[in-house]
Structure formats: C-alpha cells, structure tokens
C-alpha cells in the first residue's frame, strides 16, 4: 500500500516540521526563518499502518520569473505533478492570505486529491484561522499541530480511503527511504560488497559554494532534480538522490548521491541556518563511502578545498578529486599539469587519489568520474592476506630496519589486516610507543605502492607484545603440594 504525498504551502507554515514527524527523523532543516527549504526532499513516511513516500517542498511564492523564488516555485509545481496526493498546509494563526487563495486555485486544477491542513492549530488563538480555511473551497480543514503531533489521527482518517484506492489500482511498492545520516556497519567484510538497490553505493559531493555540485548531480541523474543557479549557497539541506549510474562499460551501478551545502570558512559562517546546513553536509561526509571533492577550475585548491579534502581523509572515506568548469578552460594541458603539481604538494595525505576534470554543464568527463569512483570504492574495500603482509613486512625491514631509540631495538614480529573500509593494519612489535611517525609513514607509503592502494586512507596501528615470563614473581609451591598436584606421593621418609 504505497502512494506519494507532497506537502505544499506558503513559506514558514510548518511543512518541514510535519515532514520530519512523518518520517520519524530530523532529516529536513527547520528554522523560524521563512524559505529554509529549497530543494525537494523525499522520505519514507509512516502513519499508523500507512506506508507512503512524502515529499517536502519549498514554500510557494507568487513569482513566475527566473529568479531564485521562481525556480523554487517551478520545482514545487513539479512535485505537485509527481504526487498522488497534495497536502495543502496553511497557518491557522495567521489565517488565509491572498497567496493561499491563489495557490488553492492552482492545486485545484493540477492535483486530483488535495487535503487541506490548518497547521499550528493548538490553542484558542487558531480558531478563527481554522474557520476561515473553509473559504478555500477544498473541504473541511484538518486541525493539526506538526510541532506537537496533534491531529495526526484525523489526517490518517482522511488518507486511509485514498491509500486503499491506490492499492487497488497499482501493485504494492516499497517507498524509497531517505537515509539517516549516521554511521553504518560493515567494516569487517572480507570481500568487496556489490552495490544493490537495497544497499546502494553512498557518494557525497562536497565543496565550496558555487562549485557546481547540484549541476553535476543533475547531469548524473539526467533530470533537473536539484535547484541550481548562479547564486552561491543555494543548497541548504543534504539531499540524497537514488540513481543507477552506468559507466563506459554499460554496467549500471546503484548509487545514492548526496548533494551538500557549500562549505565556507568557519570564521565566515555567522548565521544559524548556514551552521545547520554545513553540519548537515558534514554528516553526509561521515555517512558516505566515497566522497567527491568538487573544485572550481578557475580557483582550485583554495584553503577551504584543502580543509574539506583533509576532513574526508580523516573520516576514512575514499576520496575522488573532481575539477569542474573544465569546458571554459583554454589551456587545458598546462592547467592540468599545474593541477597535478598542486595536488601532490598540497595534499600529500591523498597522494595517488584520482584527479578528474569534468564539466557539470555539458556532462563531459562523467564516464571517467564514474570509473574513478568505482576504483576508489574497490581500493577502499581492499583486503590483503596475512601471509602476503608478513612477506612484504620482511622485505621492508631488510630494506630499512626500524631505528633503536635510546638503544632499545624495535622488533616487529608480524602484521595482519584488522579491517577494511578503510584498510586498517596492525603490526605486533616491541616498544610500540617508540616507533617514530616517519617509520609509520614509510610503511603506509609502501602499502600504497606495493598493494595498489593509491589515495586510499590507510590506518596503521603498532601493538605491543609482552615477552615477560608469565610465571615470574609467583611464589614457589612446597614440594609436597607440588607432588600431590601432579599425582605423586609425598616423600614421608618411610623408604
């Protein structure tokens, strides 16, 4: 029993609050400032025994030009056309405005099923607004408080017969689930997991504002699903889109791609809303398996770009560097050489990671980007056998023995891989606290080269192995008790 419900209405009437309540998680950003939501966000909703897909939309504005508000309105109208049911939300405390009358007329023409909801209806202050909502001609309004969860039973009563009608007219479908941004399990997998529709490859696209992240994702999914434009900082929520991205070999890989808000320097972030947006993007990085750091070809490797790439590496994610707006670059060969030199110099911790040039506007370079993502994902899941590691460790020790700080010789006994995603290795040795960081880097760089893991975050831990006698310090047992313990007879002097 599945259908699609779009929540529409003026800005700041509580659409995102109701969306979060229906999906059971705080997926959408909520703030007192009007116009927080700009993109369409989908989620799997649950209301009693009803299961359906809910769409959070931008606030409707009386604008039809190519301004930001006009583009947001067109995106919302598209959601209305996609949805089976439109939930038209008004503010019961404010009452019915002229804009509500205009939008009610639009919904009456474009949607077959419109449910009128008077939100913020708790208390006596909303009585007049609820009665006024009858003037819209959309039937009896449902009194609702999205913030406090009041009125959901009435909403269920209205949606139930509509859901039954959709269940009879179409096969049962499972609504696509918007992912909660939290860490997932799976670090100890022995083989590279193959992405499926149930468990797609998680890819986050991050970068500074106006780098072209939303435009790039629209090119990947082949539809204008995300709001784009020349203005910097359009995206606020971390929006996830499900797609099957086919590479040059024609094999389609199920992916969930996260579009994140542009990340500026921390000192420049003053508004609470921008802090929430950046925090949402950081959670997307922690959840992702592969992070695409998108740079602007005109101003690549800015200080903030380096911080973002370093963040992805410290979080242990596979990293792909993509340089956008390559179509406007004139001296491509010279620029590419300069980019590679800057990459090796400024991001040594990601040495060997793929550097791909793309054009989000024209779509050129997307095949190479897909191949780079899949290769980075494969290396991120790489597992090396213990036998191979110990043979390799013997050769590394012969070529460059560990130092002997304070005259204490460091003996490295054996090595094994403890985890994948990212690859993590443990070396059992004496005096692990004495191993210098330079020798750790020597071993990590050797792992990258010899086991073909360039650019992959590698974790290396030194663990101590006790060589002390476990019986040292114990009291010696008397001979009689010792012989009795081993089954002999005590020597009592009778023989």
R_g over Cα of the chain: 30
User: What length does the chain have?
Assistant: 495
d(CA 215, CA 296): 13
Residue 56 in marked binding region: yes
Residue 185 in marked binding region: no
The token pair that represents 295 in the structure block: 């740079």
Residue 58 in marked binding region: yes
Residue 109 in marked binding region: no
Instruction: Please choose, from the candidates 122, 107, 124, 128, the residue with its C-alpha nearest in 3D space to the C-alpha of residue 152.
Output: 122
Residue 9 in marked binding region: yes
Residue 15 in marked binding region: yes
Residue 121 in marked binding region: yes
Residue 157 in marked binding region: no
Residue 324 in marked binding region: yes
DSSP codes joined into one string, 76-115: HHHHHHH-SEEEEEEETTT---HHHHHHHHHHHHH-S-EE
- Cβ count within 10 A of residue 351: 13
Residue 372 in marked binding region: no
Residue 326 in marked binding region: yes
Residue 201 in marked binding region: no
d(CA 104, CA 114): 9
| Residue whose entry in the numeric block shows the structure tokens 């769409």 | 55
Residue 380 in marked binding region: no
Residue 259 in marked binding region: yes
Residue 57 in marked binding region: yes
Residue 286 in marked binding region: no
Residue 446 in marked binding region: no
Residue 249 in marked binding region: no
Residue 212 in marked binding region: yes
Residue 263 in marked binding region: yes
Which whole-number Å values give the CA distances from 473 to 7, 427, 465, 466, in the listed order? 74, 29, 19, 15
Residue 178 in marked binding region: no
Residue 129 in marked binding region: no
Residue 210 in marked binding region: yes
Residue 229 in marked binding region: no
Residue 16 in marked binding region: yes
Three-state secondary structure call for residue 62: coil
Helix axes 272-287, 303-314, angle to 10 degrees: 40
d(CA 104, CA 96): 11
Residue 10 in marked binding region: yes
Residue 164 in marked binding region: no
Residue 60 in marked binding region: yes
Residue numbers in the known binding site for GTP are 9-16, 56-60, 119-122, 207-214, 259-263, 324-327
Residue numbers in the known binding site are 9-16, 56-60, 119-122, 207-214, 259-263, 324-327
């Amino acid at each position: 029993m599945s259908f699609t419900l779009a929540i529409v209405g003026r800005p700041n009437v509580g659409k995102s609050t109701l969306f979060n309540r229906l999906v059971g998680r705080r997926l959408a950003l909520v703030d007192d400032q009007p116009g927080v939501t700009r993109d369409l966000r989908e989620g799997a909703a649950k209301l009693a025994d009803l299961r359906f897909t809910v769409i959070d939309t931008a606030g409707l504005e009386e604008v039809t030009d190519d301004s930001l508000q006009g583009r947001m309105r067109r995106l919302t109208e598209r959601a209305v056309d996609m949805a089976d049911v439109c939930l038209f939300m008004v503010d019961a405390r404010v009452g019915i405005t002229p804009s509500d009358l205009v939008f009610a007329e639009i919904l009456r023409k474009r949607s077959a099923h419109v449910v009128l909801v008077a939100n913020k209806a708790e208390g006596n202050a909303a009585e007049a607004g609820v009665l006024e909502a009858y003037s819209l001609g959309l039937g009896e309004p449902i009194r609702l408080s999205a913030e406090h969860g009041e009125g959901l039973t009435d909403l269920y009563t209205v949606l139930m017969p509509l859901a039954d009608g959709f269940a009879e007219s179409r096969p049962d479908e499972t609504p696509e689930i918007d992912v909660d941004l939290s860490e997932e399990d799976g670090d100890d997998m022995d083989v590279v997991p193959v992405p499926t529709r149930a468990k797609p490859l998680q890819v986050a696209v991050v970068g500074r504002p106006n780098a072209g992240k939303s435009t790039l994702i629209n090119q990947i999914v082949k539809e204008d699903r995300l709001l784009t434009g020349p203005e910097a900082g359009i995206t606020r929520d971390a929006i996830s889109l499900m797609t099957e991205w086919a590479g040059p070999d024609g094999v389609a890989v199920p992916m969930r791609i996260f579009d994140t808000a542009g990340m500026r320097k921390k000192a420049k972030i003053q508004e609470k809303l921008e802090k929430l947006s950046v925090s949402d993007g950081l959670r997307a990085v922690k959840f992702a398996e592969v992070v695409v750091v998108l740079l602007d070809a005109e101003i690549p490797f800015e200080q903030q770009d380096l911080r973002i790439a370093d963040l992805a590496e410290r979080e242990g994610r596979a990293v792909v560097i993509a340089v956008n707006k390559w179509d406007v670059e004139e001296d491509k060969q010279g620029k590419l050489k300069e980019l590679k030199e800057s990459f090796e110099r400024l991001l040594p911790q990601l040495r060997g990671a793929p550097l791909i040039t793309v054009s989000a506007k024209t779509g050129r370079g997307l095949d190479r980007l897909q191949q780079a993502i899949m290769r980075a994902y494969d290396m991120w899941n790489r597992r090396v056998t213990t036998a191979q590691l110990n043979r390799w460790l013997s050769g590394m020790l012969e070529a460059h023995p560990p130092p002997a700080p304070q005259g204490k010789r460091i003996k490295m006994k054996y090595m094994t891989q403890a985890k994948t995603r990212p690859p993590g290795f443990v070396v059992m040795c004496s005096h692990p606290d004495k191993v210098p960081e330079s020798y750790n880097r020597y071993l990590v760089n050797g792992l990258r080269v010899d086991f073909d893991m360039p650019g992959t975050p590698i974790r290396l831990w030194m663990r101590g192995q006790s060589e002390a006698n476990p019986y040292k310090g114990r009291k010696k047992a008397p001979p009689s008790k010792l012989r009795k313990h081993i089954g002999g007879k005590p020597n009592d002097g009778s023989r």
